[in-house]
Amino acid sequence: MARRGGDGRLSHELLPGEKGPQDACGVFGVWAPGEEVAKLTYFGLYALQHRGQESAGIATGNGKQILVYKDMGLVSQVFDEAALSALTGHLAVGHCRYSTTGGSTWENAQPTLGDTKTGTIALAHNGNLTNSAQLMHVAENEYDAARQGEIKRGNTTDTAVVTALFSGIDKGTLWDAALEILPQLEGAFCLTFMDEHTLYAARDPHGVRPLVLGRLERGWVVASETAALDIVGASYVREVEPGELIAIDENGLRTAKYAKAQPAGCVFEYVYLARPDTSIAGRSVHESRVEMGRQLAREFPVDADLVMPTPESGTPAAIGYAQESGIPYGQGLTKNAYVGRTFISPSQTLRQLGIRLKLNPLKHVIQGKRLVVIDDSIVRGNTQRALVRMLREAGAAEVHIRISSPPVKWPCYYGIDFASRAELIANGLNTEEICATLGADSLGYISLDGMIQSTAQEPENLCSACFTGTYPIELPDPSRRGKFVLEGPGEALDAVDGLKTLNASAGGGSALSHP
Nearest to 360 by CA among 313, 394, 400, 328: 394
> Peptide bond preceding 312: is omega within 30 degrees of 0, i.e. cis?
yes
| pLDDT of res. 503 | 25
Mean of the pLDDT values across residues 150-162? Answer: 71
Burial class, 343, CB count within 10 angstroms (exposed 0-12 / middle 13-18 / buried 19+): exposed
Phi and psi, residue 250, nearest 5°: -65, -15
Mean pLDDT score of the chain = 84
Q: Which residues, including other chains, have CB under 8 Å from residue 442's CB and lie 6 or more apart?
A: 300, 302, 400, 401, 435
Of residues 113 and 139, more confidence is placed in 113
Whether 287 shows a pLDDT value over 70: the answer reads: yes
Instruction: Decide the pairing of beta strands 398-403 and 370-375.
Output: parallel
Query: Which of 91-105, 141-155, 364-378, 432-446 is least confident?
Result: 141-155
User: Do 440 and 401 meet the contact criterion of CB atoms below 8 Å apart?
Assistant: yes
Helix (H, G, I), strand (E, B) or coil at 177: helix
91-97 vs 26-31, strand pairing mode: antiparallel
Given 25, 190, 266, 463, which residue is catalytic? Answer: 25
Over residues 121-133, mean pLDDT = 92
Least confident of 266-275, 375-384, 388-397, 477-486: 477-486
pLDDT at 425: 93
Rounded distance between C-alpha atoms, residue 91 and residue 40, angstroms = 10
Number of alpha carbons in the 13 Å side-chain half-sphere of residue 294: 12
The pLDDT assigned to 395 comes to 97
pLDDT for residue 11: 36
Compute the C-alpha angle 386/392/396, nearest 5°. Answer: 135
- Residue 492 predicted with pLDDT over 50: no
User: Please, what is the angle between helix 315-325 and helix 285-299, to 10°?
Assistant: 50
Q: With the CA atoms of 99, 104, 105 and 110 taken in that order, what torsion angle do they form, in degrees rounded to the nearest 10?
A: 20
226 and 278 Cβ atoms separated by less than 8 Å:
yes
What whole-number percentage of the chain has pLDDT above 70?
A: 80
Average pLDDT of the residues in 58-67: 96
Task: Give the strands of the sheet with 55-61, arranged side by side.
Answer: 235-239, 212-216, 219-223, 26-31, 91-97, 55-61, 66-72, 512-514
Q: Is the preceding omega at residue 111 within 30 degrees of 0, hence cis?
A: yes
Mean pLDDT of 475-502: 45
Which comes out higher in pLDDT, residue 492 or 295? 295
Nearest to 88 by CA among 39, 144, 129: 39
Partners of 417 in beta bridges: 22
User: Where do runs of H (alpha helix) occur along 19-173?
Assistant: 37-47, 75-78, 81-86, 132-141, 149-152, 158-168
Q: What is the pLDDT of residue 149?
A: 60
Q: How far apart are CA 156 and CA 126, in angstroms?
A: 15
Instruction: Please write the tens of the pLDDT for every residue from 343-402.
Output: 445 555 555 566 777 889 999 999 999 999 999 999 889 889 999 999 999 999 999 999
Is residue 200 helix, strand or coil?
strand
Higher-confidence position of 229 and 342: 229
- State the DSSP string of 251-300: TEEEEEE-S-----EETHIIIIIS-TT-EETTEEHHHHHHHHHHHHHHHS
Please report, in angstroms and rounded to a whole number, the separation of the first and last CA atoms in the chain: 12
Is the pLDDT reported for residue 115 higher than 80?
Answer: yes
How far is the CA of 421 from the CAs of 130, 326, 380, 412, in angstroms? 18, 37, 10, 10
In this prediction, residues 124-148 reach a mean pLDDT of: 78
> What is the spatial distance between Cα 213 and Cα 235, in angstroms, rounded to a whole number?
9
pLDDT digits (tens, 9 = 90+) for 290-326: 999 999 999 999 999 999 999 888 999 999 999 999 9
Catalytic site includes residue 190? no
Cα angle for residues 224, 465, 210 (degrees, 5° grid): 10
Q: How confident is the model at residue 179 (pLDDT cuts 50, 70, 90)?
A: very high
CB 497 within 8 A of CB 147: no
Q: What is the pLDDT at residue 309?
A: 96
In this structure, of 10-19, 200-209, 493-502, the range with the lowest mean pLDDT score is 493-502
- Above pLDDT 90, what percent of the chain? 65
Q: What is the pLDDT of residue 504?
A: 23
Which burial class, exposed, middle or buried, applies to 139 when counting CB atoms under 10 A from its CB (0-12, 13-18, 19+)? buried
Contact at 8 Å (CB) between 84 and 40? Answer: no
Q: Residue 513 — pLDDT band, cuts 50, 70, 90?
A: very low
Contact (CB, 8 A) for 56 and 75: yes
Residue 110: per-residue pLDDT: 86
